[in-house]
Structures are given as structure tokens and as C-alpha cells.
Chains A and B, each alone.
Chain A
Amino acid sequence: MSCILETRGLYKEFGAVTAAKNVNVSISKGEVVGVIGSNGAGKTTFINMVTGYLKPSRGEILFNGQSIIGRTPRSITRAGMARSFQVAQLFPELTVLDNLLIALAAAESPFPSLLRPLRNDERIARAEAILGEFSILAWRDSKVTAVPQGVRKLIDIAMALIGDPQMLLLDEPTSGVSAEEKTQLMDTVMQVVSRHQVTVLFVEHDMDVVRRYVSRILAFYSGEVLADGPPQSVLANARVQELVTGGQRAHKGATA
């Protein structure tokens, strides 16, 4: 399997704090990777560096074999790496449909047309299709402000996905969603992304959620990758149990 994303000796310091310490990761096409780690372990920093929001202090990031260090988020996005956000980043005053149409138009061309309408049947069809896939088509014409949290998270992801990225980074897709909704929400998301055959890397706290979908886990602790591998081995790893997941997980992990 060819490697899509690779980081080499990635460091990030904020003054005294080290948010990333010698992070070496390589992810292959089609993988579904879960990133775990307690708060401040460096998960989001990792995503922010990979997507160009933060510039690493040292190290190298290769996307499809090309360095993306110092490139802007938008050029990285155009290169095929999309992301969603811990707190859904939407256009609140616009309708759900328009949110997606804008995402689509943005993906189509870096130079939006000045006179051709945003809404054309082809775009609308695609937007409705993806809304359908996430089964939130009912919200099509309502303002984002009138939409519940869970749905917003889905819109956020749909907007990232509608541009057909090769890789999708999901930053805590279930944060701010009630425990009941979580599994259902993740099920929907995972079905859709698998259908789109896109490499996925997502940050998640809930181990049950993680183990349920991923083929591989990255465990972060204070900026370092503590363990990297298939779920059972990583969750069985003693230090992971000690530092990341905590006792009860150890037992589960062992018996898995």
C-alpha cells in the first residue's frame, strides 16, 4: 500500500511547552486511523500542523510524497487533504444547502465566478446527495443557527467531504454530542467516508468508539507518539494503559 501522509521528526514548541516531540507517522491510502490521547497530548496540534494551520518548529511533513511544510491551509486542502473541526466551523447565517454549495464551489475552482450563479442544478444535486448520505436532507433550507449540534457536526464533515479529498482529518467528530448520539453519529460518518474511499484520521476520546471503526491507533502522550499499531496491541500496551486509557481499558484491551 502506498503511503499518503508521512511525518518525520516533527517538533512543535510553544515557548517552554512542547506540543509535539519527534512525531514520526506514516499513513497509507485507505487506512482508517484513530488518534487517542488525553487533553493536551498534542492530537489537535498534530492535525493543525498537518493541515498547515501551525508551522512545525522542526521536521518534515510529506503528503503524497511532497513536502507541505510552510504551505497554507488552502493549498494543502486543494492538494486533497480536508478536515473537520472540534467546534463545527460553518456559515451560521446561511442555509445548510448554501454552506455545502459554497464548499463545493470552493473545491471546484480557486477563482470563483463573478457572474455565474452559485446555485446550479448540478451543484444542488451533489449537495443534496451528500446531505442524503448523512441523512440530514431535511435541514436543507434551514439556517445553520436553527440546526442542532449533532447535525452541525455532520454538516461540518459533509463540507470537508464534498470536495472529494484523498484524506480526511476529523478533529473529535463526536465532541459536543450527547453520549447516546455518539455511536449513531459515528456510524453514519464512517459509512459515508468508507463509501467515498477516503483515507481517514480521526481524533477521539471514547475508546469504544475508536476500537469500533479503526484499523490502527496512534496514542499520543505529551506530544509524543506513545504507541502506533492495530487497536488490540496499542490498547494492550502497558504505558498506553497507564498514561492514556487508564486501568479498566487495560483489562478490555488484554482480553480483546
Chain B
Amino acid sequence: MLSLYAVLIDGAIYASWLFLVAAGLTVIYGVMRILNMAHGSFYAIGAYAAASLVGWYFNNGVGPVWVGYLMMLGCALAAGLVVGLLIERGLLRFMYGRDEVLMVIITYALLLILEDAMKMIWGVNPYFAYQPYAEMGRSVLAGLKVSNYDLMLVGVSLVLGLGLWLWLERTHQGKVLRAVIHDREVAQAMGVNVRRVFTLVFILGTVLGTLAGALTAPAISVAPGIGVEIIVLAFAVVVIGGMGSIEGAALGALLVGLSRAAAVHYAPQFELFVIYGVMALVLAVRPQGLFGRVLARKI
């Protein structure tokens, strides 16, 4: 019985983490039709930025803890802004209108570059900024000791998901975005500055990526390769949910999160490919993913 609760709790926690990781990816794809392989690198950059700064703060500072949390968010934001702006202005805007798959390859090149760039900046030694994670302590849920930090992550991703959704559905900007998503040309004709929308969206996506990294950093040891490890994961989630759909990403994350938690508790031997299993299954039934839109071709 206990392990059933555990499955739900673990599943929820893992799902919310997955959603954090996947949100930026799906936003960028939804608006710009770019499946961003470098998203994992953004995640890693966020993690490194947070880990190095926060680690530094706690190791030789006696300042209050909450400053540490602010710093995490701060550097995630800063890193995301800088990186996103650089990449969008410096590279991607010259590539718009190219074939979707080509864009995948372009971002793949970006990933190769960023991976080494990070090695140059932060070296290969792991960064270990555990304080924000440890400080929060733990609480007991259904007889299971759970880290408060993980519970906070659940909250954060709920807020984030809701926020994104409301923003898209309820605000003017959201309308503009959906116009672009629905038909770029028409939106352009309606006087939407698509270029600017793209820049903003890409930066938003990047920030979401770095944020996910920064929020994860305190719980892990930040080492080379963490970015590469999560890309495929994020892809799976986004593809399952239907690429470009926020609610899809949320549902996909929940699906993967729960099935993985269940596997860990009841059938550890399947844990390794449960994610791809779910993905292949969903795609086999719904080629466009759960929330994907089918675009019929006019003749």
C-alpha cells in the first residue's frame, strides 16, 4: 500500500521535473517550429550558473539562505537572457524558414558547441551546491520521507504551467502568439511583427531551460554531460504530449512520470526503456501526439 502512495508521490515529483525540463522545448517548437536539440545545453548552463554561484555564495558567505534562492533564479534568468539572445540574434534568425529537420540539425551543431564551451568555462569537475536543497529539510507524506525541495518543485511547475497556459489563452500577447502558431503568413499580414515574437519566444524558451537547470542543480552534482542526458527525455515528453502544446507537455510529463515511478517500484528491470515504450505506444496510436494538431495538406 505504502508503495502505491510512493508511486503517486514520486511520479508527481518526477513529472513536475520533467515538465520543467520540457516546457521550454515545447514553447519554442510550438511557435517557431524549431525542435531545439540545444535545449539540454540550456538546462546544463542554467545548472552550472546556479551551482557555481550558489556554491560560491554558501561556501564563503554567511548571508541568509533566501538570498541563495534568489541568486538561483537570478542567474537562471540572466544566463537564459544572454544565451537566448546571442543564439537567436547571432544564428537562428538567419535560418528561419528552413526545413524543420534542418533546424534540428542546426541545433544539434549548437549542442556540440555549447557542450565544449561549458567545459571551457566550468571545467570537468562536478559542482556541488547542495545547500538550497538541504536547507529546506523534509516532511513525511503517507509515511514516506519527502524532501521539501522536491515538493516545492511540484509547486513551481504547477504555477509555471498554469501561468504559461493563462498567458497563451487569456492575454493579448497570447492571442498574438496563437495567431503566429496558427498561421505565420496571416499573422504577418495582420501586422504582427513575427520576427520580434520569435526573438521573445526563443528567449522565453531558453530561460525556461536554464530555470529548469538552476532548480535541479542543488539536488544533483553538476557535471559535464547532464544536458545531453535530458534532451531525449524532454523530446519524449514533448512528442508524447504533441509538440508545441503546453497542456500536452504537462500530460506527457505526468504519463512518463507515473509510469516510470511505477516501473521503479514494481518492475525495476523495465525502468530503462519505459519512456521510449510509452512514446512509441502513443505515437503508434496518435501519430501527432496526444494534443498534436493534424495539418491537412491543401491541393
A85 partner residues in chain B, CB cutoff 8 A: 299
- Contact of A142 with B by CB under 8 A: no
Q: How many residues of chain B have a CB within 8 Å of chain A?
A: 1
Smallest beta-carbon distance B109→chain A, Å: 24
A89 to B299, CA, bound (A): 8
Bits for B266-299, please: 1 = Cβ < 8 Å to A, else 0. 0000000000000000000000000000000001
Cα of A89 to Cα of B298 in the assembled complex, Å: 11
In the complex, which residue of chain A has the Cβ closest to the Cβ of B299?
Answer: A85
Chain A residues with a Cβ closer than 8 Å to the other chain, count: 6
List of B residues within 8 angstroms of A118 by Cβ: none
With a CB–CB cut-off of 8 A, which chain B residues contact A89? 299
Distance in angstroms from B49 CB to nearest chain A CB is 45
Number of A-B residue pairs having CB atoms within 8 Å of each other in the complex: 6
- What's the Cα separation between A111 and B299 when bound, in Å? 25
For the complex formed, measure the closest distance between the CB of A19 and the CB atoms of chain B, giving whole angstroms.
Answer: 14
Which residues of chain B come closer than 8 Å to A53, judged between CB atoms?
299
- Residue A185 at the B interface, CB < 8 A? no
Which residues in chain A, 67-105, are within 8 Å of chain B measured between CB atoms?
A: 85-87, 89
**Closest chain A CB from B102 CB (angstroms):** 15
Give the secondary structure class of A's interface: loop
CB-CB contacts below 8 Å: A83-141 with B: 85-87, 89
CB-nearest residue of chain B relative to A73?
B299
Residue in B closest to A171 when the chains form the complex, CB atoms? B299
How many Å from the CB of B3 to the closest CB on chain A?
Answer: 48
- Residues of A near B299 (CB, < 8 A) are 48, 53, 85-87, 89
Query: Considering the chains assembled together, what is the distance between the CA atoms of A36 and B61 in angstroms?
Result: 83
Q: Which B residues lie within 8 Å of A86 (CB)?
A: 299
Task: With CB as the reference atom, state the residue of chain A lying closest to B298.
Answer: A87
CB neighbours (8 Å) of A48 from chain B are: 299
Report Cα–Cα, A123/B199, bound state, in Å.
51
Cα A89 to Cα B297 with chains together (Å)? 12
Encode contact with B along A31-58: 1 for CB under 8 Å, 0 otherwise. Answer: 0000000000000000010000100000
List residues of B (78-104) whose CB comes within 8 Å of A's CBs.
none
In the complex, what distance in Å separates the CA atom of A53 from the CA atom of B296?
12
A86 and B299 CA atoms in complex are apart in Å by 7
Quote the shortest CB–CB distance from A155 to chain B (angstroms): 16
Give chain B nearest CB distance to A174 CB in angstroms. 17
CB distance from A223 to the nearest CB of B (A): 19
Q: From A85, which residue of chain B is reached at the shortest CB distance?
A: B299
Residue ID in chain B nearest A48 by CB atoms: B299
User: CB-defined interface of A209-248 with B at 8 Å, one 1/0 digit per residue?
Assistant: 0000000000000000000000000000000000000000
Q: Whole-angstrom distance from the CB of B223 to the nearest CB of chain A?
A: 46
Closest Cβ of chain B to A88, distance in Å, is 11
Q: How many angstroms from the CA of A85 to the CA of B297 in the assembled complex? A: 13
Whole-angstrom distance from the CB of B88 to the nearest CB of chain A?
Answer: 30
Contacts of A87 in B (CB 8 A): 299
Min CB distance A53 to B, Å, is: 7
Q: Would you give the shortest CB distance from B86 to chain A, in whole angstroms? A: 34
Whole-angstrom CA separation of A133 from B225 in the bound complex: 63
Q: How far, in whole Å, are A85 and B299 apart by their CA atoms in the complex?
A: 7
Interface string of B125-166 (1 = CB under 8 A from A): 000000000000000000000000000000000000000000
CA distance A48 to B297 in the complex (A): 13
Contact code string B11-51 (vs A, CB < 8 Å = 1, else 0): 00000000000000000000000000000000000000000
A53 to B299, CA, bound (A): 10
> What is the CA–CA distance of A181 and B299 in the complex, to the nearest angstrom?
23
Q: How far is the CA of A87 from the CA of B299 in the complex (A)?
A: 7
B110 to chain A, nearest CB (A): 27
A160 → chain B closest CB, angstroms = 13
Q: CB-CB contacts of A9-38 with B at 8 A, as 1s and 0s?
A: 000000000000000000000000000000
B173 to chain A, nearest CB (A): 31
Question: Closest CB-CB distance, A252 to chain B, in whole Å?
Answer: 33
In the complex, the chain B residue whose C-beta lies closest to that of A86 is B299
Least Cβ–Cβ distance between B297 and chain A, in angstroms? 10
- How near does chain A come to B38, taking the closest CB pair, in angstroms? 29
Q: How far is the CB of A92 from chain B (nearest CB, A)?
A: 14
State which residues 159-204 of A face B: CB under 8 Å.
none
Residue of chain B at shortest CB distance from A53: B299
In the assembled complex, the CB of B185 is this many whole angstroms from the nearest CB of chain A, namely 15
Chain A nearest CB from B132 CB (Å) reads 53
Measured between alpha carbons, how far is A97 from B299 in the docked complex, in Å? 23
Pairs A–B under 8 Å by Cβ, sample size 5: A48-B299, A53-B299, A85-B299, A87-B299, A89-B299
Which A residues fall within an 8 A CB radius of B?
A: 48, 53, 85-87, 89
B interface list, Cβ under 8 A from A: 299
Give 6 closest A-B pairs by Cβ, nearest first: A85-B299, A89-B299, A53-B299, A87-B299, A86-B299, A48-B299
